[in-house]
Amino acid sequence: MIRFSVVIPSYNRSAWLVTALESVFAQTEPAFEIIVADDGSTDDTPDVLRKYEGRVKVLTQRNAGPSAARNLGIAAATGDYIAFLDSDDLWFPWTLALYREVIEPHAQPAMVEGAHLEFDTEQGPPNPADSSSQVSRLNSQLSPDYLASPRVTLWPSGTAIRADVLKAAGGFTPHAFNAEDCDLWLRLGTERGFVHIAQPPVFAYRRHPASAVASLAKSVKGIMAMIECERRGGYPGGDARRHDRLRVLTTHTRPLSVSFARRGLPRGALTIYWRTFGWNLRLLRLRYLIALPCLTLFGVLSGKRGTPVT
C-alpha cells in the first residue's frame, strides 16, 4: 500500500483551512499522515488546529512564505509520496485513490499531477457529485519525465511527488517569490516517470484577490530567477533537453511580459522580451516576437503608463 503524506501550508486562512482539511478527511483512500505547516499565522489558526489534535501533525515557523512552509512539511513527512494541498483549495473525495491507481501500474513514477476545477469565494466550492460520474472514466497519460510531457502548467494542490526524489532535490526554493513551484518542476524535470490525470479533476482551485498568483511583482521576481537559473545551467538535462526546458520557461515568461505591456510598463515587458528573445526565436514563437513590441507601444500610448505593479 502506498503511503501518502499530505502537506498543507497555511497563513491566516483558518476558515479555508478547515474546508481543506475536511476534504482530506473525506478521502476514500485515507492519508497516511496529514501535516499542516503554519507559516506564522496571527489569526485563530492555532486554536482551529487544536481541534484536530491527534489527527493532524502541526508544525509552526515564523512567517517565511509558502515555499518555506512546504519545506517544513516535506522534512517531517515519512510517507512514500508527498501530496500538496494549499489551504485555500480542496480535494475531491477520490484524489488520493486516483493517485494510487495511476502510480501502481507505472513502477512508482516520480510525479503525478491532475486536472482541476476553479471557483471563487462567492460562488462556493464545486459539488463533488457533479464530477463523480467521471471517476469511472479515468483518463491519464504517462510520459518518460516531466520535460517530455506536453503538460507545462502544474499546480501544487494537484501534485504528488515521490518523497525520496523530492527530498533529494531539496524541496522548493525558499523565497517569497511566485513561480517557486515552476522552478521545482523544472529541477525535477528529468526524474523518471510523470503521469498526468486529465479526467476526473483532482482538486478545486479557489480564486480570490489574496491569492499569491495575483501578485505581479512577486511573479516577476520568480520568473527572473528561473531565467537566470537556466542561463547558468542550473536545470537538469543539459543541451539534449534544452528545447524542452525552453518550451516550459517561455510558456511562463510570455504571458508575464504581455501583462507588463498591457499595463503600460515598457521596462518590465521589454526586459523579459530581450532576455528570452533567443529562446522564443529558437522555438519559432514569431507571432510573439513581432506582437510584443507593438503591444508595449500601444500600452504606453494609451495612457496606462505608471500603473502600479502589485
Give the per-residue SS3 of 205-265. EEECCCCHHHCHHHHHHHHHHHHHHHHCCCCCCCHHHHHHHHHHHHHHHHHHHHHHHHCCC
Q: Are residues 179 and 225 in the same domain?
A: no
Residue 281 belongs to a domain: yes
Write down which residue in 156, 191, 211 finishes a domain.
211
Q: Above 90 in pLDDT, residue 31?
A: yes
pTM: 0.92
- Would you state the pLDDT for residue 132? 62
In whole angstroms, give the CA distance from residue 296 to residue 270.
Answer: 8
- Would you state the pLDDT for residue 134? 66
Q: Are residues 229 and 117 in the same domain?
A: no
Q: Are residues 170 and 227 in the same domain?
A: no
- Would you state the pLDDT for residue 310? 45
Q: Above 80 in pLDDT, residue 269?
A: yes
Q: Are residues 117 and 9 in the same domain?
A: yes
Q: Are residues 155 and 8 in the same domain?
A: yes
- Residue 84: phi and psi, rounded to 5, are -105, 145
Residue 221 belongs to a domain: yes
Mean pLDDT over 109-125 rounds to: 88
The range of the structural domain enclosing residue 166 comes to 4-211
- Would you state the pLDDT for residue 208? 78
Q: Are residues 204 and 224 in the same domain?
A: no
Q: Are residues 83 and 224 in the same domain?
A: no
Write down which residue in 178, 195, 211 finishes a domain.
211
Tens digit of each residue's pLDDT (9 = 90 or more) over 121-157: 767 677 776 666 667 689 999 999 999 999 999 999 9
Question: Per the structure block, which three cell numbers stand in for 139?
Answer: 483518463
Q: Above 60 in pLDDT, residue 214?
A: no
Residue 291 belongs to a domain: yes
Q: Are residues 91 and 140 in the same domain?
A: yes
In whole angstroms, give the CA distance from residue 176 to residue 65.
Answer: 5
Contact, 153 vs 238, CB < 8 A? no
What number of H helices and E strands is found in the chain? 11, 11
Q: Are residues 82 and 167 in the same domain?
A: yes
In whole angstroms, give the CA distance from residue 258 to residue 90.
Answer: 31
Number of structural domains found in the chain = 2
Per the prediction, the chain carries an average pLDDT of 92
Q: Above 80 in pLDDT, residue 213?
A: no
- Would you state the pLDDT for residue 216? 74
Q: Above 80 in pLDDT, residue 199?
A: yes
Write down which residue in 165, 188, 211 finishes a domain.
211
Q: Are residues 230 and 169 in the same domain?
A: no
Q: Above 60 in pLDDT, residue 306?
A: no
Q: Are residues 55 and 186 in the same domain?
A: yes
In whole angstroms, give the CA distance from residue 14 to residue 286.
Answer: 47
The rounded Cα 58 to chain-centroid distance in angstroms is 22
Residue 306 belongs to a domain: no
- Would you state the pLDDT for residue 229? 96
Residue 122 belongs to a domain: yes
Segment among 20-24, 121-125, 250-254 with least mean pLDDT: 121-125
